[in-house]
Amino acid sequence: MSESVLAKIPQRISFTETTSHAWSEPSRYEESKAAFESLGFRQTQAFVAFPQEWVVEFWLSSRPGLFAKIIDSKKRGVYSEVTVINRDGVAVSFENTEECKLKHRGPNKWVHCGLITPAQLVERALQHCQPNDASPMNLAECVNVDERSVNEYLAWRRSVGISADEVKQVVDHMKRQRLPEA
């Protein structure tokens, strides 16, 4: 089963700008949008990641090394992510999703924070960065960092594979999520 999952992982993704997107969960998107606006983030462009086809809308911050994203994925729906980048280029993203049960590589990494607000994601990201540790970001740099991080993760995942234990944990987690509440 792990070989089957691994075979579906693309070699690379690339972002292509899109002029419009029908969000799969419009109310969740609007909640994230309002939260990022209230936190001082500036909405920019949306991009489609090919070949996996998720949509990511980038939000810039006036704080150096910090940006946010609203993502629409077939597997996870609409969720938010806040990324902090240190001067050495290491990116850490904090997302308001449940744990995926897969291992992540370092130094670039994604942290599943559970179902928390965008404001709480920003708080976590700010706790991670050191004073004067980052530089200002523009949209092209944010897109570049995100695309590079995803492609490095894909290459790492193909090189290490997916262990039987990871597959079992993911399957068990999915089963628990589908169980009706008592």
Query: What pLDDT is stored for residue 167 in this prediction?
Result: 75
Cross-strand pairs, 78: 72
Instruction: State whether the Cα torsion 142-148-152-158 is positive or negative.
Output: positive
Query: What pLDDT is stored for residue 182 in this prediction?
Result: 43
Token digits of residue 27: 């109310």
10-residue mean pLDDT series, the chain (182 residues): 76 93 96 97 96 92 92 92 83 86 70 91 85 75 92 87 77 64 46
Q: Model's pTM, two decimal places?
A: 0.86
Query: What pLDDT is stored for residue 45 in this prediction?
Result: 96
CB 170 within 8 A of CB 101: yes
Domain coordinates of the chain in residue numbers?
A: 2-178
